Amino acid sequence: MRPTKILTIVCAVCLCSGSVTAMAQNQPRGDRVFISELEGIWMNDAYIKALRTVRMPHRAAKQASPVVIAITRQGRSYPYVATDFDKAAFMMILALEPDIKANSYRLVLGEKNEPTSAEDVTYIWFKGQRDADRKFRKLAFQEVFIMDGKWADYEHVGMELGPVMNGLVLAGRYKDSDGREWSFTEQGQATFPEESFYYELSINDRKARCEYFEAEDLDAPGGISYYGYAWKAGKLQLFRADMKNDRVQCEAEPFAVLTPH
C-alpha cells in the first residue's frame, strides 16, 4: 500500500465513559479542546527540517525518521493513523480528555467503534497551546505505536499528505537551458514542454537507487512510468528511470536541468 493511501483510512468515533467526566471536572472550561481542533496531518519537526533542507524524501528519511499522525474527519467521526511510511497503526478515537496540568491532554483510542473498557484503550498524550487565532499549529505528542512512547514535536502541515510533500519537494515553475517552461503543482500535476501528466512522489522506498516519482502513463506497463530527480546547487535535475529487479534505478546523467523561477 502506498504511504499516501494509508492516510485515507476512515473510522467511526464513539464516546468513552469512565474517567472522561472525572478528568474534565479538573480542567477550566475555557481550555476545553475538541477533537475537531486536531484535524489534519501532523508531521514531526525533525523530518520537516531535514526535508526542507535537502528537498529529497529518501535522503531526509535517513537524517530523521519520518513520522506522521493523521486525524481526519469522516462525517461525524475521526480516525487516528500514525505511520513512518513503512508501517502504520490504525485506531479509533473514542474521546479527548484534559489533564489536570495546563495545556496537557490525551486521546483515548480503541480498536473498535463501540464502548470500550479502560483496560482495552490506548492513550496518546499530547500538549501544546493555541496561537492567537485559537488554532493549534504546534503540538508535542507521546506517540506509542511508531515512536514507542517517545515525545516529539509535530507541526500541523495541512489536511492531505500528498500536496504537502509535493509542495516541500517539487512544486513550482522552472525553466530549462533553452528557456522552455516546466512545472509541478502541489495537487500532483506535472507539465513538461511536450506532455502533461499526474505524478506521485516516492516518500520512503528503501530499495530505490535514487529519488523518484511515478508518472501516469497509459502506454507504459501497468500504466506507470518513472522519473528520477535530484536537487543540486539550487537546480532540479531530472533523470530517466525504470523498474529493474523490483527496484527503481535512474540513469547516471540528467536529461534536463531546471532552474526555479
Residue 36: per-residue pLDDT? 94
Is 145:127 a contact under the CB 8 Å cutoff?
A: no
Mean pLDDT by 10 residues, the chain (261 residues): 36 31 41 92 97 97 96 86 96 94 95 76 96 96 97 96 96 98 98 96 94 92 93 97 94 98 92
CA distance 137 to 96: 18
Is 95:80 a contact under the CB 8 Å cutoff?
A: no
As a residue count, the chain comes to 261
Fold of 3-160: Lipocalin (2.40.128)
Residue 114: per-residue pLDDT? 66
Residue 73: per-residue pLDDT? 84
Is 80:94 a contact under the CB 8 Å cutoff?
A: no
pTM, 2 dp? 0.83
Sequence spans of domains, the chain: 3-160, 170-260
Residue 12: per-residue pLDDT? 27
